[in-house]
Structure 1
Amino acid sequence: MSNPLGFDTLAIHAGTAPDPATGARQVPIYQTTAYVFRDADHAAKLFNLQEVGYIYSRLTNPTVSALANRVCALEGGAGAICCSSGHAAQIMALFPLMGPGLNIVASSRLYGGTITQFSQTIKRFGWSAKFVDTEDLLAVEHAIDENTRAIFCETIANPGGYVSDLDALARIADQAGIPLIVDNTTATPYLCKPIEHGATLVVHSATKYLTGNGTVTGGVVVDSGKFDWSASAKFPSLSQPEPAYHGLAFHPALGAMAFTFHSIAVGLRDLGMTMNPQGAHYTLMGIETLSLRMQRHVENAKIVADWLDQDPRVETVTYAGLHSSPYRKRAEKITPKGAGALFTIAVKGGYDACVKLVDNLKLFSHVANLGDTRSLIIHPASTTHRQLEEDAQIRAGAAPNVVRLSIGIEDVKDIIADLDQALTAATA
């Protein structure tokens, strides 16, 4: 087609077609472990990557592939893979790039679980992370050394709702000859397409807004297809012969699809971080209403943040859509349809007041999740970021006097009424 399809059309149709066997219009759940080969030659070609098809559901599955193709289309990528969780997506994104002794430069403003994964768990692979405030671009540049293989940030940082300067970080990554990896979970491709701002890889926790109803654990990695993995010797897994495939060099042979095929043929094969087809099916259905939900999320979040910003019981509100926010101009550029629906508030009365606020809310759900249709709240310092020292909590935007709000799509007057009564109880 001469004109590309619009976002809402892609959210419903991308990656799917009527089932050729039955005519089923909705994507079937292919609940199968393995697939019958036509003959021995067909099987050999599949295993040699000479032909695209299905072998075993740890690698590929038609339902899961449909989801990967849909998210890829929404992000404007060349290829994508789905995996078992957002955390798995982060490891899958790094796996082809890293090796013992290598490091990444990561934003200090990340989800607490990601900080733990990068500061502790990846050490077991011999990898490491340097945490830098990505607002200080000079510090980002200085943190990069000969062993750095990627820069990692979130579009809208969890928990604070800060908006990253993706264009500036992409320029730094390009100058260093390394990819920029962006976690786009909290923005979704409806609000931001990081590839358009120079990102090489985009990761998602499909658990959040993509599914939208708290029923799925899943992750997605989208590759822009624009990075030259053979430009240097930094990425041998993609540029050099792979012993497990008779010396196939993924990037020279597969070009823009090199990362995607490597992630399936090596990453999913050996790490086994597979997404289940039923979860993929739920996420496909969730994405069909993504734009409608995100419009309401953003509309409600703006009203609630404005109200909280005027409330004397609240010290600060970090929502980037506020006129007073230092990130407002950037949000208008990076997320022009709105600054998302995730932000924090600092409550007068400190840690104890935050606990009382959480305990007195009725409509809000106190859960370790975000991006649900329901409004959610959590106190990061005692939960998601509790493993960090207080100074690290503050750098991550999760100080002891802060709660994180994920604003849902309920009637906004009911959301405000619930916050009002709980703030009264918390600060009395």
Structure 2
Amino acid sequence: MDTNWKLETLAIQGGYEPKAGEARIVPIVQSTTFKYDDADYVAKLFDLEVPGFFYTRLGNPTADAFEKKIAQMEGGVAALATSSGQAAITLAMLNICQAGQHIVSASTLYGGTYNLFSSTLPKLGIEVTFVNPDAPAEEIAAAFRPTTRALYAETIGNPGMNVLDFEKFASVAKAQQVPLVIDNTMATPYLCRPFELGANIVVHSATKYIDGHATSLGGVIVDGGTFNWDNGKFPELVEPDASYHGMQYVKTFGPAAYIIKARVQLMRDLGATVAPMNAFLFNLGLHTLPLRMQRHSENALALARHLEAHPAVSWACYPGLASHSSHGRAQKYLPKGASGVLTFGIKGGAAAGKKFMEACKLIALVVHVGDARSCVLHPASTTHRQLSEEQQLSSGVSPDLIRLSVGIEHIDDLIADVDQALAISQK
């Protein structure tokens, strides 16, 4: 396979090279197990001495093709597909954090991630300190402790739509000798490649733009292969693993140590495995990802400009707008577009927002983003409702905020639907 292929080509041809007489399209290997004739070879599979598949919880040919493709598109060394985006984030953190340790995270997070970090991980003994991503580097660094094991952020905050200052976050992580872990769901590798900007680990909710059609739950962790795990802070990756006869991950697997450990230890024990059918659909979704992200971004920018000038709208928030606080960073880090999600404040607050959502005809009220079809949501009463008002505001969620996931329909139809719904909302 040509390693110099452009991302658009990798999206179609990457991850899978059929031999003569084999299926041109990645097959769905709907099997839990795999047959062998040599008992010694199976033993070597279990000891990680040879590559191969023996149980779908740990690996499957369909999932493997998807993992290889997304790793190539992100520019990483390897990937691990999971049963959901939440599972990807959870395994990514548990792979390097345990009880008594600590994470520093940007506060502008998807509500499910904020809950994971603020509620569930602390129950496991892992503390998380949230920082304002726009704070000075010195203030972010001050949140670190001797037990800190990762710095976490989103490329584009959901739903705050703030674009991360990669240069600042990467410099802080490097100085503190911890990996920078980035959720690249909203941008996708087409719009942003975090490894080229200093990230070490990338996670995705594949449920969103990777799938692109609202059919399948899944997630993926991609290892950049660039972090020095042998720096004294991560003994679990350096010292012998008793569950594999004393194998040492860094010594044995080099740059892929992190992702191998995540698969053979965390996936082995926690079992958040992607379904083969879903991996097949994610692979298909990647085929058209570049085309869809172009259209999502174009439509979102046009609709954001329209909303910004609308008399029923208090404010519009989209990184592509010149008025957005992250516009400069969007131009720097997202030159091909700022993705398909925008937010706006509707005059009349939450009550008017309810009327607006119910009045939309083309745009559907669903709990989702990243679909080819446009959808709308009121985060304060849905995705972020478990958070306190203070936590919601810290995450970028205000009571009047409406989130639009702009699809790939014709922009004229989208604007017409928004206009008629806004008119009803103000009555």
> Is TM (by shorter chain) over 0.5?
yes
Opposite residue 165 of structure 1, the aligned amino acid is: D
Opposite residue 368 of structure 2, the aligned amino acid is: N
Q: Distance in 1 between matches of 2:183 and 2:9?
A: 24
Q: Is residue 176 of structure 2 the alignment partner of residue 176 of structure 1? A: yes
Opposite residue 10 of structure 2, the aligned amino acid is: L
Q: Which residue of the partner structure matches residue 106 of structure 1? A: 105
Q: Please state how far the C-alpha of 1:386 moved relative to its aligned partner.
A: 0.7
Q: Which residue of the partner structure matches residue 149 of structure 2? A: 149
Q: Which residue of the partner structure matches residue 199 of structure 1? A: 199
Q: Distance in 2 between matches of 1:369 and 1:113?
A: 12
Q: Which residue of the partner structure matches residue 281 of structure 2? A: 282
8 A contact 1:105–1:150 mirrored in 2 = yes
Q: Is residue 151 of structure 2 the alignment partner of residue 140 of structure 1? A: no
Structure 1 consecutive aligned stretches of length 4 or more whose deviation exceeds 3 Å: none
Q: Which residue of the partner structure matches residue 120 of structure 2? A: 121
Q: Please state how far the C-alpha of 1:3 moved relative to its aligned partner.
A: 6.6
After the TM superposition, which residues 209-228 of structure 1 pair with which residues of structure 2 at under 5 Å, given as runs? Answer: 209-228=209-228
Q: Which residue of the partner structure matches residue 231 of structure 1? A: 231
Q: Which residue of the partner structure matches residue 328 of structure 2? A: 329
Q: Which residue of the partner structure matches residue 340 of structure 1? A: 339
Counterpart of 2:210 in 1: which secondary structure?
coil
8 A contact 2:380–2:398 mirrored in 1 = yes
Q: Distance in 1 between matches of 2:82 and 2:113?
A: 16
Opposite residue 101 of structure 2, the aligned amino acid is: L
Q: Distance in 2 between matches of 1:253 and 1:92?
A: 21
The TM-score, its normalising length taken from structure 1, stands at 0.98
Q: Which residue of the partner structure matches residue 244 of structure 2? A: 245
8 A contact 1:160–1:342 mirrored in 2 = no
After the TM superposition, which residues 2-151 of structure 1 pair with which residues of structure 2 at under 5 Å, given as runs? Answer: 4-18=4-18, 22-136=21-135, 137-151=137-151
Residue 2 to residue 37, structure 1, CA distance change in 2 (3 Å): closer
8 A contact 2:162–2:325 mirrored in 1 = no
8 A contact 1:67–1:283 mirrored in 2 = yes
Q: Which residue of the partner structure matches residue 160 of structure 1? A: 160
Deviations 1:101-152 (A, max 9, x none): 1111111110111111111111232112111111103321111111111111
Residue 426 to residue 142, structure 1, CA distance change in 2 (3 Å): same
Gaps of at least 5 residues in structure 2 are none
Q: Which residue of the partner structure matches residue 190 of structure 2? A: 190
Deviations 1:293-342 (A, max 9, x none): 01100110110001011112111111010011121110011111011111
Residue 292 to residue 174, structure 1, CA distance change in 2 (3 Å): same
Counterpart of 1:269 in 2: which secondary structure?
helix
Deviations 1:3-26 (A, max 9, x none): 700111100111112266x52100
Structural RMSD (CA) = 1.1
Q: Distance in 1 between matches of 2:323 and 2:264?
A: 49
8 A contact 1:205–1:218 mirrored in 2 = yes
Q: Which residue of the partner structure matches residue 314 of structure 1? A: 313
8 A contact 1:155–1:183 mirrored in 2 = yes
8 A contact 1:218–1:279 mirrored in 2 = yes
Opposite residue 243 of structure 1, the aligned amino acid is: A
- Residues matched between the structures, number: 426
Q: Please state how far the C-alpha of 1:414 moved relative to its aligned partner.
A: 0.7
Q: Please state how far the C-alpha of 1:37 moved relative to its aligned partner.
A: 2.1
Of all paired residues, the percent bearing the same amino acid is: 44
The TM-score, its normalising length taken from structure 2, stands at 0.98
Counterpart of 2:207 in 1: which secondary structure?
coil
